[in-house]
A and B are shown apart, each in its own frame.
Chain A
Amino acid sequence: MTVMRSAGGEALIKDVGRDDVTMRSFLRGLAPVDQVGVEQRAAMLWSRSIKTDSKQWGLDTAVSMIDLTTLEGNDTPGKVRTLCVKAVHPDPTDPQCPRVAAVCLYPDLIADAVAQLAGSGVAVASVATAFPSGRASRAVRLADVREAVAAGAGEVDMVIDRGAFLAGRYSQVFDDIVAVKQECGAAHLKVILETGELATYDNVSRASWLALVAGADFIKTSTGKISPAATPGVAVTMLAVVRDFAAATGERRGVKLAGGIRSSKDALRYLVAVKEVAGEPWLSPDRFRFGASSLLNDLLMQRMKLRTGAYSGPNYVTVD
Chain B
Amino acid sequence: MTDYDYSPAPEARTIARLRPSYGMYVDGNFTAGHGGSFETVNPADEKVLTTVALADATDVDVAIKAARRAYENVWAPMPGRERAKYLFRIARLIQERARELAVLESLDNGKPIRESRDVDIPMAAAHFFYYAGWADKLGYAGFGPDPKPYGVAAQVVPWNFPLLMAAWKLAPALAAGNTAVLKSAETTPLSALALADIIAQADLPPGVVNILSGGPETGEALVAHPGVDKVAFTGSTEVGKQIAKIVAGTPKRLTLELGGKAANIVFDDAPLEQAVEGIVNGIFFNQGHVCCAGSRLLVQESIAEETVEALQRRLMHLKLGDPLDKNTDIGAINSAAQLKRISELTAIAESEGATRWSPPCELPSAGYWFAPTVLTDVTPAHRVAREEVFGPVLAVMTFRTPDEAVAKANNTPYGLSAGVWTDKGSRILWMSQRLRAGVVWANTFNRFDPSSPFGGYGESGYGREGGRHGLGAYLAH
Note whether A and B contact each other (Cβ less than 8 A).
Answer: yes
Give me the interface of A with B, judged by CB distance under 8 Å: 1-2, 5-6, 31-34, 36-38, 40-41, 47-55, 57-58, 61, 240, 271-272, 275-276, 280, 283-284
Closest to B4 in A: A275
Name A's interface SS. Answer: helix
Contact of A37 with B1 in the complex, beta carbons under 8 Å: no
6 residue pairs A–B, Cβ–Cβ below 8 Å: A32-B270, A34-B271, A34-B274, A36-B443, A51-B9, A58-B4
Binds A, one of B135-143, B181-189, B302-310, B455-463: B302-310
- A2-B306, A34-B443 are contacts. A50–B277 as well, Cβ < 8 Å? no
Contact size range, B: 20 to 34
- A34-B443, A49-B326 are contacts. A41–B7 as well, Cβ < 8 Å? no
Give the CA-CA distance A53 to B5 in the complex, in Å. Answer: 9
Interface centre among B2, B269, B274, B306 (most CB of A within 10 A): B274
Closest to A36 in B: B444
Contact of B443 with A51 in the complex, beta carbons under 8 Å: no
Give the CA-CA distance A6 to B310 in the complex, in Å. Answer: 15
Chain B residue contacts of A33, Cβ below 8 A: 271, 273-274
Q: What string of 1s and 0s marks CB contacts (under 8 Å) between B379-405 and chain A?
A: 000000000000000000000000000
Contact of A5 with B271 in the complex, beta carbons under 8 Å: no
Known: A1-B310, A280-B3. 20 other contacts (CB 8 A): A2-B303, A31-B269, A31-B270, A31-B271, A31-B272, A31-B273, A32-B423, A36-B443, A37-B271, A37-B444, A47-B326, A48-B6, A50-B9, A51-B6, A54-B4, A57-B2, A240-B273, A271-B4, A275-B317, A283-B1
Chain A residue contacts of B269, Cβ below 8 A: 31-32
Contact of A37 with B327 in the complex, beta carbons under 8 Å: no
Closest to B270 in A: A31
Contact partner of A53 (CB less than 8 A), chosen from B1, B7, B271, is B7
Contact of A40 with B277 in the complex, beta carbons under 8 Å: yes
Give me the interface of B with A, judged by CB distance under 8 Å: 1-9, 114, 118, 268-274, 277-278, 302-303, 306, 310, 317, 326-327, 423, 443-444
Contact of A49 with B271 in the complex, beta carbons under 8 Å: no
Chain B residue contacts of A57, Cβ below 8 A: 2, 4
Give the CA-CA distance A215 to B5 in the complex, in Å. Answer: 32
Chain B residue contacts of A50, Cβ below 8 A: 6-7, 9
Contact of B4 with A280 in the complex, beta carbons under 8 Å: yes
Chain A residue contacts of B271, Cβ below 8 A: 31-34, 37
9 closest cross-chain pairs (CB), A and B: A37-B274, A49-B9, A49-B326, A34-B271, A31-B272, A54-B7, A34-B274, A52-B7, A32-B423
Chain B residue contacts of A5, Cβ below 8 A: 306
Contact partner of B277 (CB less than 8 A), chosen from A2, A32, A37, A52, is A37
Contact of B118 with A47 in the complex, beta carbons under 8 Å: yes
Give the CA-CA distance A41 to B278 in the complex, in Å. Answer: 10
Contact of A48 with B327 in the complex, beta carbons under 8 Å: yes
Q: How far is the CB of B475 from chain A (nearest CB, A)?
A: 34
Give the CA-CA distance A52 to B5 in the complex, in Å. Answer: 11
Chain B residue contacts of A49, Cβ below 8 A: 6, 9, 326-327
Closest to B421 in A: A34
Chain A residue contacts of B114, Cβ below 8 A: 47
Contact of B4 with A283 in the complex, beta carbons under 8 Å: yes
Give the CA-CA distance A265 to B123 in the complex, in Å. Answer: 27
Chain B residue contacts of A51, Cβ below 8 A: 6-9
Interface centre among B4, B274, B306 (most CB of A within 10 A): B4
Q: How far is the CB of B442 from chain A (nearest CB, A)?
A: 10
Chain A residue contacts of B443, Cβ below 8 A: 34, 36-37
Chain B residue contacts of A272, Cβ below 8 A: 4
